[in-house]
Amino acid sequence: MTFGFLRFRVAPPKSGAKKKKPKKETAKQEPKDLTKTLRKIPRPTVEELKSAYRMLLPPMKKALRRFGRGIRIHPLSLSATLAGREDPAGAAEAYGLVCAVVWTVLPPLEELIDIPKPSVHVGVDYDAESLRIRGQAGVSLRVGTLLAMGFGLLIPGARWLIKFYRAHKKDKSRPTQKTETDTPAAAA
């Protein structure tokens, strides 16, 4: 039988062809007890967590900046109309607060994330009985950015873990937690 440039012999088999030996059944291994494995893992102290924080903070900041540059929000079109029929003064105050939040958060967000043409509108309708929110947002994320971010955090994280395990190499495993309590002889 030929398939393109490949040739396979289907029948008759070559003389002296080796016959396959039947596979021996391997004994099924019992799964290891996870509690024993978890007891071998040392618990980090507060000082070790602080050292991990100091070691991982600069790469984490760099990775988050890179992550922000890898996100693109297009289109961003939001419209919120506040209702003011029942309480016009309260609606005006809410309008001021919403505008303050939107215009405080949006400019720094545009610096961190790629938002080509944001369209955000906040308004008050004094004849409306309920809040109306309409919008459209599309978010895209580059896979290469996620991979670069992961590798940027992987190396410092691995260094800290190796340092941590070397420091606790000779530690004994944690004792098991007893569910039964021993009663003192005096109480019995």
Q: Is the pLDDT of residue 85 over 60?
A: yes
pLDDT of residue 20: 58
CA distance 160 to 55: 8
For the record, the structure tokens of 181 come out as 């309590």
CA atoms within 13 A on the CB side of 71: 18
pLDDT of residue 48: 85
Q: Strand pairing partners for 88?
A: none
pLDDT of residue 133: 94
CA angle (142 as vertex; 80, 78 as ends), nearest 5: 5
Q: Tell me the pLDDT tens digit for each residue of 117-172.
A: 899 999 999 999 999 999 999 888 887 877 888 888 888 888 888 888 888 877 76
Mean confidence (pLDDT) of the chain = 79
109 burial class (0-12, 13-18, 19+ CB within 10 angstroms)? middle
Q: Tell me the pLDDT tens digit for each residue of 98-123.
A: 999 999 999 888 888 888 889 999 99
DSSP state at residue 126: T
CA distance 129 to 85: 6
Contact 141, 66 (CB under 8 A): no
Contact 83, 129 (CB under 8 A): yes
Q: For 139-166, b where at least 16 C-beta lie within 10 A, e where not — what string?
A: eeeeeebeeebeebbeebbeebeeebee
pTM above 0.85, yes or no: no
pLDDT of residue 64: 78
Q: Is the pLDDT of residue 188 over 60?
A: no
Contact 152, 59 (CB under 8 A): yes
